[in-house]
Amino acid sequence: MTSTLILSVETSCDESSVAIIKNGRDVLSNIVASQIDIHKEFGGVVPEVASRHHVASITHVFEEALRVANVTPADLTAVAVTEGPGLIGSLLVGINAAKAFALAHDLPVVGVHHIAGHIYSNHIVEPLQFPLLTLVVSGGHTELVLMKDHYDFEVIGETLDDAVGEAYDKVARTVGLGYPGGPKIDRLAQEGKETYDLPRVMINQDNYNFSFSGLKSAVINLIHNHKQRGEEIRNKDLACSFQNSVVDVLSHKAIKAVKEYDVKQLLVAGGVAANSGLRKRLIEEMEYIPNTKLVIPPLKYCTDNAAMIGVAGTFAFLRGDRSDMSLNGRANMDL
Ligand code: KG4
Ligand code: ZN
């Protein structure tokens, strides 16, 4: 493989992140300035607030990434940046910073799909081997992606409504747990028991699609009915019941696809890949499928970060992808 040193930028939501990736796998630095504490006050990400904070922090994050990696701009091969999908005002801050940096240092720019980044975060742990399947579970996406080669993405199933992270965040808000809900429900679920009966939506359908809005509504109705009857909801047990429903459906469909497509690897990607219940279940189930290796990124590479964009960006760069100075943000974008 040609040697590469890529500076990558990710600002699609509420993390301003810049990384330096050597030869597509070595993370020399991965600086993430999180805005979680700011958005917590509002109970979710406020797009305009996110853009303003990206503007305030991005230059410093660039400097830190270069300093930690001990790299100067002259050493770099290219700049990779998240093109979409995401919050448009947030994306534009990273894209403009990346273009200005590339122009100043005469470097090529490569636009990267955010979900390609999540998928490629696994390559840091274990080199990708094809064919492979990725279970993408984030705040904005839930899909099963088949890859027969680098940068060859085939979505074989996806959510028909809410993404799984979105369902976590909405349920957490209804229960009054605040933002971000996923990790909070996960923590509670580990202390609870499955005592509430919740649906496993689409689990027995003969396809790889998902639906989480019905489950979310079932939880909201359950809370409402208990309130009307003046009964207390046990949050730990509700969290456990909700998590088990989610994990049952995700693992059932992922394992079914692993068997059908006879893949060498099953990757998990996106913020919900940090979920303890999902990780545990997949590890258990995949023991029975010894020819397919399960790869799950460490927690720091599950949620949004620039390292994953740098890894995907390296493969995009090597196959000849180049963006020019008209590169723009795309709120919606197919993989
Ligand atoms: O991939 P990500 O950082 O951002 C998007 O691209 O959407 O994913 C964020 C999502 C949020 O919905 C968050 O609640 C969820 O990932 N999440 C979790 C956990 N950690 C983060 N959901 C369930 N369990 C977790 N431990
Ligand atoms: Zn993401």
**Same-domain pairing of 140 and 270:** yes
Are 293 and 312 contained in the same domain? no
Q: Residue 277: pLDDT above 70?
A: yes
- Ligand number, closest to the Cα atom of 303: 1
User: Quick check: 1 pLDDT over 80?
Assistant: no
Tell the residue number behind the tokens 């028991």, with chain if given.
193
Provide the CB-side half-sphere exposure for 196 (13 A, CA). Answer: 27
Helix (H, G, I), strand (E, B), or coil: what is residue 69? Answer: helix
Q: How far is CA 307 from the centre of its chain?
A: 12
140 is in an annotated binding site: yes
Place of tokens 């180049």: 322
Residues lining ligand 1, Cβ inside 6 A: 13, 138-140, 165, 168-169, 180-183, 186, 270-272, 274-275, 303-304
For the segment 153-160, the average pLDDT, to the nearest whole number, is 98
**Mean pLDDT of all residues in the chain?**
95
Same domain, 288 and 190: yes
The predicted pLDDT at position 180 comes to 82
81 and 20 co-located in one domain: yes
30 pLDDT above the threshold of 90 = yes
Q: Are strands 15-22 and 142-147 parallel, antiparallel or unpaired?
A: unpaired
Classify residue 85: in a domain, yes or no.
yes
Rg (C-alpha) for the chain, rounded Å, is 20
pLDDT in tens, 103-129: 999 999 999 999 999 999 999 999 999
In whole angstroms, how far apart are CA 111 and each of 13, 114, 168, 221? 16, 9, 30, 42
The share of the chain scoring above pLDDT 70, in percent, equals 100
Block residue for tokens 């003969």 = 206
Under the banding of pLDDT at 50, 70 and 90, the label for residue 37 is confident
| Residue 139 is assigned to a ligand binding site | yes
Please write the tens of the pLDDT for every residue from 234-244. 999 999 999 99
Q: What Å distances lie between residue 245 and 9, 141, 185, CA to CA?
A: 35, 18, 13
Same-domain pairing of 65 and 185: no
Tell me how many domains the chain contains. Answer: 2
Same domain, residue pair 233 and 289: yes
How far apart, in whole angstroms, are the C-alpha atoms of residue 55 and residue 77?
25
Whether the per-residue pLDDT at 209 is higher than 70: the answer is yes
User: pLDDT-based confidence at 14, cuts 50/70/90?
Assistant: confident
The answer on 310 and 286 residing in a single domain is: no
Residue 291 has pLDDT above 80, yes or no: yes
Whether 59 and 188 map to the same domain: the answer is no
pLDDT in tens, 217-237: 999 999 999 999 999 999 999
Looking at the structure, do residues 74 and 153 belong to the same domain, yes or no? no
Shared-domain flag, residues 143 and 286: yes
CATH number, domain with residue 220 = 3.30.420.40
Q: Are residues 140 and 288 in the same domain?
A: yes
Here the ipTM equals 0.98
Q: Which amino acid is it at 285?
A: E
Closest CA to 77 of 141, 21, 5, 132: 5
Residues 82-97, mean pLDDT to the nearest whole number: 97
Work out the pLDDT band at 89, boundaries 50, 70, 90: very high
> pTM for this one?
0.95
207 assigned binding-site residue: no
Mean pLDDT on 54-71: 96
Say whether pLDDT at 34 is over 90. Answer: no
From 10, 32, 303, 332, the mutation candidate for ligand 1 (largest count of ligand atoms within 8 A of CB) is: 303
pLDDT for the residue numbered 66? 98
Render pLDDT for 295-334 as a digit per residue (tens, 0 to 9). Answer: 999 999 999 999 999 999 999 999 999 999 999 999 999 9
Tokens 């720091």, residue located: 300
202 and 172 in a single domain? The answer is yes
Percentage above 90 pLDDT, the chain: 90
* pLDDT higher than 80, residue 43: no
Owning domain of residue 314: 5-120+305-318
Q: Which residue CA neighbors atom 4 of ligand 1 most closely?
A: 139
